[in-house]
Structure formats: structure tokens, C-alpha cells
């Protein structure tokens, strides 16, 4: 029998094209049943490229009554008359919103097309009034209440989060459009909005206080992304192909996939969620890579780190409430909410008694990809050189070549531009953490001992490195602290070589200004 050609829908956001093209589709239609029997207004927040657009497209086809597309799927088994509803599908994802008129042009084109489709003559140029008239006109023309789907409702805001004037301009424009969701409620069957962020303390929804935010809802936690069960049921061929290429069993390959692309959680009771974009890429290319990170550079996050003087060590293991994750306050943007909502942090644990979440980096792809991107922000290592730099650094540490990797560290800090404030201790600490996290060895920062904290602890198969950093001091002082506080004591019975390294960083010279080594 001829082997079936598996088609992976990379970048495919049209449910109709996906089904007609016989691409693999992970059935998420059971969530449609929950939605049609639930609220009138919904909001779903998820990171980019997690399947929000495809789900909205699925909803669109469902309400348009295209039953033939749903044959064999869950939703085709429920009691539904499949009569078409009028649908308004507004996609805000196709603009960068760097000019004042970007949104106006998009809305104008959208309204003109729908007005022509329903033979509605605009009586005013005001977009909000025309939007209201369009909803009412569609209802009157069909006798059915309107379904409104808004994809990436927040794109104009997210893209201008550090441009206060343009942010407020777009916020006001969006508020006039979204105000119709409340004023036209009698003509509306469903409103479903998606986005990356939910902005707190904003008037974007103009009093629409009955919207059901399912972003943290346990029943909708797997509405986007791919669960372990869905992976096994839908991607057997992809797993087998990877197993053959990497000479591993199917079970070993699934563990590797899990390590690279799994680990997302969107509620306190959520199955492990895989990044769908990366999974499709790795199956199609039969090669592991940082696909999600590469599909959109995290410039916004890097800028936020520099603006807020954020300690990466604390950010990688942070505890907070749901309120801290659910909204972004333009007056006081916190890295925690921004990193969570954009997918660089996820829920790792939840304490029911205190209602507190513990966050962490989801998986290897996010950790490596993000830190490789950040390395040039904090050091003189260029982006195109970062991977080679990290590989060579790791090899030198594994082989105990202290002179070589310390000279590499010196070079890393030597050519930093003056736009980076390296007189600030935090940036130096972040640079060390990023580099040592990237090398893929057993690395810990700020390790507590009985008499203090080890700045950086690195363990290889043959060596234990204990590093102490001083700022504006001397390497001798750093080494003396290691000795005085007996940081090496826990490894005195270890078979590995213990190497103590005292390092001084000069904020005046903006580089490592001396280091001293001692074998414990």
C-alpha cells in the first residue's frame, strides 16, 4: 500500500482551506459547543502563533453553516440546525500600526466590503456609526443575529506600548468601534475576541463588563495548542520520521519533543500544552529548531527588560496572583504580565490555599531562543555569532580550560556600546545569567549556602566552578569571599575538580578588570 502523504498546515489560518486541502487538523470543535451554549461575549488571550486565528476561522465556518467541512469532527454530532448566521470577521493582525492612518484604512476597507455585500448605503463617514448601522442592517437583511469575530483585537496597542501618544490614539479609535458590542447587543448572537494581552484600566471595551474572559478558564485551557493526547493521536507519522532520523525510539522521540516544545499551562488545572507552530515545523522539516522564537523577534520584551532594570534571576522563578497576569497597565507595565501573556513565561505550579501561581520558562526552545536573542543586547557578541560563541564556551568549560573561557568572557564585555548602562550592576548579572543559561550545563545563580550566596555555580561531568563577582572591587576580594564563606565545602567529597574564580567588573572601564583562580 502506498504511504499517505502527510500535509502539515504550517501558517494555515483558514479552516476552510485546511479542510479542503486535506491537511492534518487537531479537532478543537468540542469547544464550539461550549461557546454556543454559553455567554454572548467572549475574550481569549493566548501567545502569538498558538492557533487563535485558526479557531476563529473555525467558528466563522461553523456559523456560516458549512457543515461539509466538519464531517468526522465532534461538532457534527451535536444537535444544531446548521442554518447560516451573518458573520463579521475583523482581522487586525495584518498591519504594524506605525502610522496614524493604518487602522482607519483597514476599518474603511472592512466596512466597505461588508456594506456592499449586504447592500447597505453608509449615511456617515464616522466608522463607529457605520459599524453600528452595519450590524443592524445585517440583522434586518437576514433575520438572524450577527456573529462578530475579532482576531488580535490588541495588535495596534501591543505594537505601540512604548509610544504613549500613538497608543492612546489607537486606544480611542478601537474604543469607538468596540462600543458597538454593547449598544448593538439586541442584534448580536456572539462576540468572540482574541489577542495576546488583556489591557487593564483601559476603556477599550467601553463598559462591556459582562465579557467572559476564558483565558484562565479550566474548561478552555486546551482550546489552543496541542496536548499530549492530541500529539499521539494525530502525529504518529511525524514522530516516526523523527525517530528514524535521530535513531531513537518513538518513546524517546516524544520525550525530546516534550523537552523542546511542551510545558505551557494556561490555568491552574491544565494539561501540558505543546506549541503548535513549532510542532508542525519540526514534523515538516524533520529537524529540531527554535521555530516559534524565530517567527517573531521579541524586541518588545528586550526593551522592557532594559527599561525596568529587571533581574532575570527573579523573573525565571516568580510567584504572583492571577490579577498580576490578567492585565497590562500602561501606567505601570510589569515584566511578569508581559512575559506571561506573550508566552515566554508560563504557569508551572499553583497553590490552591494561597491562590498564588509560580511561573517559569516553558521549554528548551523558549529558553535557548530567547536567551540567544538577548545575548547581543547585554554583550558585544553579535547575533550571528552567538551560537558559535556559546558552543565554544561550553566546550572550554567542559575541558577545564579556565584561561580560555575567561578570556572569552573578557572579550564578551570588552566591546559593549555606551548605550548600554553597564555601570548598573543588574545588567552585568543578567549578561552572566544569559550566557551561562545558554551553555546548557548545570548552572545556578544566587545559590544559597549556610553563610551567603554563590553568584554563579556551574557543574560539568568533571568540574565544579564557583564564581564570585565584584563590581568596582578586586578579584582578590571576590576570591577571599569564596574562601571566607566556605562556598566550596559542600563539594569537598565530590570526585570532580572544584575551581574557585574571583572576578571583578569595572563600571568605569566597562569590562572585566581582572580575575583570579584557585583550585579548592
pLDDT in tens, 22-58: 999 999 999 999 999 999 999 999 999 999 999 999 9
- Cβ neighbours of residue 454 closer than 8 Å, sequence gap 6 or more: 444, 446, 447, 466, 467, 468, 482, 487
Q: How many angstroms separate the CA atoms of 95 and 377, rounded?
A: 26
Nearest in space to 364 (alpha carbons), one of 274, 281, 296: 274
Q: What percent of the chain has pLDDT over 90?
A: 64
Phi, psi of 277 (to 5 degrees): -65, -45
Distance CA 513, CA 473 (A): 9
Contact 8, 51 (CB under 8 A): no
Cα dihedral sign, 176-177-181-183: positive
| Stretch among 91-100, 202-211, 345-354 having the lowest mean pLDDT | 202-211
Res 158: pLDDT? 87
* Cα(226)–Cα(261) distance, integer angstroms: 10
Q: Binning pLDDT at 50, 70 and 90, where does residue 207 land?
A: low
Average pLDDT over residues 446-453: 82
- Residue ranges of domains in the chain, CATH in brackets: 15-220 (3.40.50), 226-289 (no CATH), 299-364 (no CATH), 379-519 (3.40.1350)
Q: What would the mean pLDDT of 294-321 be, rounded to a whole number?
A: 78
Residue 348 CA to residue 272 CA, distance in Å, equals 10
* 134, 111 contact by CB (below 8 A): yes
Which of the two residues, 227 and 450, has the higher pLDDT score? 227
Average pLDDT over residues 212-235: 96
Calpha distance 380→237 (Å, rounded) = 43
What's 193's DSSP letter?
Answer: E
Helices assigned H by DSSP within 379-493: 386-398, 402-414, 425-438, 475-484
CB 49 within 8 A of CB 292: yes
Cβ pair 194, 56 in contact under 8 A: yes
Query: Between these two residues, 387 and 483, which has the higher pLDDT value?
Result: 483
**Residue 60 clears pLDDT 80, i.e. is over it:** yes
Lowest mean pLDDT among 188-197, 291-300, 304-313: 304-313
C-alpha cell, 430: 543578567
Report the distance separating Cα 186 and Cα 136, nearest Å: 9
Q: Is the pLDDT of residue 1 over 60?
A: no
Between 445 and 252, the more confident residue is 252
Q: Is the pLDDT of residue 138 over 50?
A: yes
Please report the pLDDT score of residue 420 as a whole number.
54
pLDDT tens string 367-417:
888 888 888 777 777 765 777 888 899 999 999 999 999 998 888 877 665
- What is the 3-state secondary structure of 415-444? CCCCCCCCCCHHHHHHHHHHHHHHCCCEEE
- C-alpha span between 47 and 304 (Å, rounded): 17
Cell of 484: 571566607
pLDDT for the residue numbered 330: 65
Per 3-state DSSP, what percentage of the chain is helix, strand, and coil (rounded to 5)? 45, 15, 40
- How sure is the predictor about 324, in pLDDT bands with cuts at 50, 70 and 90? confident
- Per the model's pLDDT, the better-predicted residue between 300 and 360 turns out to be 360
CB 150 within 8 A of CB 194: yes
Residue 106's Cβ-count burial label (10 Å; 0-12, 13-18, 19+) is middle
Region 79-101 average pLDDT: 94
Greatest mean pLDDT among 25-39, 152-166, 427-441:
25-39
Please work out, in degrees rounded to the nearest 5, the angle formed at the alpha carbon of residue 264 by the alpha carbons of 321 and 17: 125
Mean pLDDT of the chain: 89
Nearest to 102 by CA among 160, 164, 149: 160
> What is the SS3 assignment for 265-283?
CCCCCCCCEECHHHHHHHH
Supply the pLDDT for residue 446: 77
**Is pLDDT above 90 for 309?**
no
- Report the predicted TM-score, pTM, of the whole model to 2 decimal places: 0.86
Residues linked to residue 503 through DSSP beta bridges, in sequence order: 469, 515
The H or E element containing residue 448 is strand 442-449
Question: What is the rounded CA–CA span in Å between residue 232 and residue 383?
Answer: 36
Tracing cell 525565571 back to the chain, one arrives at: 316
Instruction: Give counts: helices (H), strands (E), the chain.
Output: 22, 15
What per-residue confidence (pLDDT) applies to 144? 97
Give the separation between CA 244 and CA 253, rounded to whole angstroms. 10
The DSSP annotation for 298-325 comes to -HHHHHHHHHHT--HHHHTT-EE-HHHH
Amino acid at each position: 500500500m502506498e504511504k499517505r502523504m502527510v500535509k502539515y498546515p504550517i501558517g494555515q489560518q483558514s479552516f476552510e482551506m485546511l479542510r479542503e486541502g486535506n491537511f492534518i487538523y487537531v479537532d478543537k470543535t468540542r469547544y464550539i459547543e461550549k461557546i454556543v451554549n454559553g455567554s454572548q461575549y467572549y475574550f481569549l488571550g493566548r501567545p502569538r502563533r498558538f492557533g487563535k486565528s485558526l479557531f476563529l476561522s473555525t467558528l466563522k465556518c461553523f456559523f456560516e453553516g458549512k457543515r461539509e467541512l466538519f464531517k468526522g469532527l465532534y461538532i457534527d454530532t451535536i444537535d444544531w440546525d446548521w442554518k447560516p448566521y451573518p458573520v463579521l470577521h475583523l482581522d487586525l493582525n495584518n498591519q504594524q500600526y506605525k502610522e496614524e492612518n493604518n487602522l482607519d484604512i483597514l476599518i474603511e476597507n472592512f466596512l466597505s466590503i461588508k456594506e456592499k455585500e449586504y447592500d447597505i448605503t453608509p449615511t456617515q463617514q464616522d466608522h463607529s456609526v457605520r459599524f453600528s448601522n452595519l450590524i443592524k442592517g445585517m440583522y434586518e437583511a437576514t433575520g438572524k443575529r450577527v456573529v462578530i469575530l475579532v482576531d488580535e483585537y490588541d495588535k495596534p496597542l501591543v505594537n505601540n506600548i512604548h509610544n504613549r501618544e500613538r497608543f492612546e490614539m489607537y486606544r480611542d479609535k478601537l474604543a469607538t468601534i468596540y462600543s458597538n458590542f454593547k449598544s448593538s447587543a439586541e442584534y448580536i448572537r456572539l462576540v468572540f475576541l482574541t489577542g495576546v494581552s488583556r489591557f487593564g484600566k483601559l476603556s477599550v471595551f467601553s463598559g462591556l463588563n459582562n465579557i467572559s474572559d476564558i483565558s484562565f478558564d479550566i474548561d478552555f485551557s486546551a482550546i489552543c495548542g496541542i496536548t499530549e493526547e492530541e500529539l499521539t493521536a494525530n502525529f504518529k507519522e511525524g514522530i516516526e520520521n523523527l525517530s528514524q532520523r535521530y535513531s531513537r525510539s518513538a518513546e524517546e522521540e516524544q520525550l525530546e519533543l516534550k523537552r523542546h516544545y511542551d510545558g505551557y499551562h494556561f490555568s491552574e488545572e491544565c494539561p501540558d500544552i505543546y506549541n503548535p507552530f513549532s510542532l508542525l515545523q519540526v514534523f515538516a522539516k524533520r529537524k529540531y529548531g527554535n521555530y516559534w522564537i524565530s517567527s517573531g523577534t521579541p524586541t518588545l520584551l528586550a526593551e522592557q527588560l532594559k527599561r525596568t532594570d529587571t533581574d532575570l534571576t527573579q523573573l525565571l522563578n516568580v510567584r504572583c496572583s492571577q490579577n498580576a497576569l490578567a492585565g497590562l497597565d500602561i501606567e505601570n507595565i510589569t515584566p511578569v504580565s508581559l512575559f506571561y501573556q506573550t508566552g515566554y513565561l508560563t504557569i508551572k505550579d499553583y497553590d490552591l490555599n494561597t491562590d498564588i501561581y509560580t511561573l517559569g520558562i516553558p521549554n528548551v526552545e523558549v529558553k535557548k531562543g530567547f536567551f540567544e536573542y538577548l545575548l547581543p543586547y547585554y554583550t558585544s557578541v553579535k547575533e550571528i555569532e552567538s551560537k558559535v560563541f556559546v558552543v565554544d564556551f561550553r566546550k572550554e568549560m567542559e575541558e577545564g580550560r579556565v584561561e580560555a573561557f575567561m578570556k572569552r568572557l573578557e572579550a564578551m564585555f570588552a566591546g559593549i556600546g555606551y548605550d548600554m548602562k553597564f555601570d548598573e550592576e543588574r545588567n552585568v548579572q543578567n549578561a552572566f545569567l544569559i550566557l551561562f543559561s545558554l551553555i546548557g550545563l548545570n548552572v545556578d545563580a544566587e545559590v544559597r549556602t549556610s553563610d551567603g550566596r554563590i553568584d554563579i555555580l556551574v557543574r560539568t561531568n568533571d568540574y565544579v566552578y564557583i564564581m564570585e563577582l565584584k563590581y568596582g572591587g578586586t578579584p582578590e576580594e571576590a576570591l577571599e569571599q569564596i574562601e571566607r564563606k566556605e562556598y566550596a565545602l559542600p563539594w569537598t567529597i565530590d570526585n570532580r575538580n572544584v575551581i574557585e574564580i574571583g572576578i571583578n567588573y569595572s563600571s568605569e572601564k566597562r569590562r572585566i578588570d581582572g580575575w583570579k583562580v584557585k583550585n579548592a
